[in-house]
Structure 1
Amino acid sequence: MNLNHPLIPINDVDRCFYAERLEEFLPENIVDIHTHVYRDSDFPSVRQNNSRSVSWPARVAKDNPIEDLLETYRLMLPGKKVTPMIFPTVPRGGNLDVQNSYVSACSHEKNIPALIFSDPTWSATETETRIRQGGFIGAKSYLSVAPAYIPGKEIRIFDFFPPHQLEVHNRNGWIVMLHIPRDGRLRDPVNLAQMMQIEQDYPNIRLIIAHVGRAYCDEDVGNAFEVLSQTEKMSFDFCANTNANVFEQALRCVGPRRILFGSDMPILRMRMKRITRDGRYVNLVPRGLYGDVSNDPNMGELDGAEAAALTFFLYEEIEAFRVAAKRLSLGHEDIEDVFYNNAVRLFDGLFTI
């Protein structure tokens, strides 16, 4: 990071938004349960888009070394002490081991919790050895590392978190950060069945469902919260999600002690506002700021005063949660649980802040 050029320019719109809506709402101590830390130098010079994932996040930041992540909190959440849980981003060009080694080193150097990015081809023994040797407290994985012969729309949770690895996590009481696959997102019956199966068959896993199960639009929910009301342990982070209606339903379903704040940094540095159109989320950004987005169905552009009024994705996410919390009359203790205490309890016996 070049100190002569701030990592993230902060303008008057940002300062006013934070001061008027978020500063008093947020507790002094925060745990960000969902962050990616990685270096551009660890990636191939030409990065190919993965057909199993959206491409727009790559427009926000080419990398996010630990120094940039910590500086992001200083700039965007002034007056708050933020502890991130870190893990790699999606591997490319055979760089999984390099990424995991970097995250492990950052975890030890900064004394912050970290998850390994796991590969479904690892044996149970290899999974356990890698996690222990790296000082990790669990694993994150992603549908992109599921076997290549499986069509993207048919990938299931167990294709990238296979049962033999879940048994290892269960035996050790480790954290599993789960980004669910499939076009149906949270409402998908296969996703719901396998989420329920993990809770029932692996009761010691500390399971986190990322992004509230990717329910970014009202249409993504279906009957999911009716099904999930039968759960007792799994938690949900609301990273990279700005849907107050979904947050409200999640809070009603599992209560504030099973909801976790996460950001999905570095993409939450994006200057944007999210809307939904016909069941699809669309990120509205200042025209030209993130290159040519005309062919991306999840992106749109604004000009003039509308563009100038945009603030950060992070602020929009927290504001949406504040709206949901206000609807349900959550108290100060509930907010502290969501943004700090729940994570501390989740880490119990694994990591001490």
Structure 2
Amino acid sequence: MTINQPLIRDVDYEFYDRELSTFIPDQIYDAHTHLFDAAHFKPEGADFPASVGLDEYRELIDVLHPGRDVSALFIPIPGPREMADAANQWIAEQQARDDRSRGLFYFHAKDDPEWIREEVKRLNLHGLKCYHVTSSRRPTWESAIPEYLPEEVVRIANEEGWVITLHMVKSRAVADAENYELIRDWCQRYPNMKLILAHSARGFQPAHNWEGLHHLKGLPNLYFDSSANCEALAHIAVLKILGHENFMYGSDFHVSHLRGRSLAVADTFLWLYEQTPVWEERHQSIEPVLVGLEHLRSLKWTALSLGLSDSQVEDIFFRNAQRLLGVE
């Protein structure tokens, strides 16, 4: 495959050389990334290939960290129920091609829990991906966690020793008492289930992390992936309050290959994309880089702010995920 232009531009290579080339370790375990096939999903906003499997993913992700040895936890892109089975099959086929990679099973809130168990085993996947769009609440962004992650599914994950990647919602994310109380309760009652809070606890507004994460201390089966969060203070809050041992790098491909960044504002956040009319200032014209590069720079700022050692940075970029997923 040849990467399509203008998916990758000179400004991206220049940004990498200036900001990241000496920071990123030689090995990467991408703990939150998506593969897709046009038959069940086609991303908008960039000139992506029709299908992205293991080979295409590795070529595309090489733009963010060139020449690194990469494996990943592959996740279907959440979509309608009629496309979920094909998306899960695609993930299973691709992760089977790399002994170190793993895959998650995307389910809908009303799927039969025992059917979910059987399908994860049949496909030789390693855990679950839930998403708020399967909730019956409207708007789904204000859903309580059990409305898209039923407790019976969590119980099965505990019995099977699976991971669950959770993109929590509600307007204040982990600062919402209903969210942090439930997470604490489930992690304590289901200790063999490993819960990953995506996007640094969806801390796109870092103030929510500083307020809520104190309630989640002492949970060894609670993990975080950094995926696409461009706010260094969100990651810093996770590491300062809970430590770095359960914190993992995740690119959130394909979002990583859109242009712009997340931005904290007021008591919430917004996303600036290339199409957002903010890039023309009176004194200069700004060319946005890939979200994945902005995200990696936020991790560099995190490491510099906290004085992380090279070994701790390596933990975040690959060892923590390998330990969680049982990768040699």
Check whether the contact 2:204–2:262 (CA below 8 A) recurs between aligned residues: no
In the other structure, the counterpart of 1:38 is 36
Question: How does the TM-score come out when normalised to structure 1?
Answer: 0.84
Matched, 1:307 2:305: no
Q: CA deviation at 1:278?
A: 2.4
In the other structure, the counterpart of 1:73 is 61
Aligned length, in residue pairs:
323
CA distance in 2: counterparts of 1:301 and 1:20, whole angstroms: 24
Q: CA deviation at 1:343?
A: 0.6
In the other structure, the counterpart of 1:50 is none
Counterpart AA for 1:139: L
Check whether the contact 1:61–1:267 (CA below 8 A) recurs between aligned residues: no
Which of 107, 112, 116 is matched with 1:123 structurally?
112
Q: CA deviation at 1:58?
A: 4.0
1:177 to 1:129, Cα distance in 2 relative to 1, 3 A: same
Counterpart AA for 2:240: R
In the other structure, the counterpart of 2:220 is 232
In the other structure, the counterpart of 1:342 is 320
Check whether the contact 1:269–1:314 (CA below 8 A) recurs between aligned residues: yes
- 2:36 is paired with a residue whose SS is coil
1:123 to 1:324, Cα distance in 2 relative to 1, 3 A: same
1:307 to 1:162, Cα distance in 2 relative to 1, 3 A: same
Q: CA deviation at 1:212?
A: 1.4
Q: What's the RMSD between the two structures over aligned residues?
A: 2.3
Check whether the contact 1:127–1:168 (CA below 8 A) recurs between aligned residues: no
Alignment of 1:228-267 (within 5 A): 228-267=216-255
CA distance in 2: counterparts of 1:138 and 1:116, whole angstroms: 6
Alignment of 1:148-297 (within 5 A): 148=136, 152=140, 154-221=142-209, 223-286=211-274, 290=275
1:301 to 1:92, Cα distance in 2 relative to 1, 3 A: farther
Check whether the contact 1:8–1:75 (CA below 8 A) recurs between aligned residues: no
Alignment of 1:47-62 (within 5 A): 58-60=44-46
- 1:144 is paired with a residue whose SS is helix
Q: CA deviation at 1:151?
A: 5.1
Structure 1 unmatched runs, 5+: 48-56, 291-298
Check whether the contact 1:64–1:266 (CA below 8 A) recurs between aligned residues: no
- 1:109 is paired with a residue whose SS is coil
Identity %: 22
Q: CA deviation at 1:316?
A: 0.9
Question: How does the TM-score come out when normalised to structure 2?
Answer: 0.90
- 2:239 is paired with a residue whose SS is helix
1:5 to 1:14, Cα distance in 2 relative to 1, 3 A: closer
Structure 2 unmatched runs, 5+: none
CA distance in 1: counterparts of 2:46 and 2:177, whole angstroms: 33
Which of 122, 125, 150 is matched with 1:136 structurally?
125
Instruction: Report runs of 4+ in structure 1 exceeding 6 Å deviation.
Output: none
CA deviations on 1:262-303 (whole Å, 9 max, x unpaired) are 0111011122244333234333344xxx4xxxxxxxx44313
Q: CA deviation at 1:222?
A: 5.4
CA distance in 1: counterparts of 2:122 and 2:236, whole angstroms: 40
In the other structure, the counterpart of 1:113 is 102
- 2:278 is paired with a residue whose SS is strand
In the other structure, the counterpart of 1:54 is none
Counterpart AA for 1:92: P
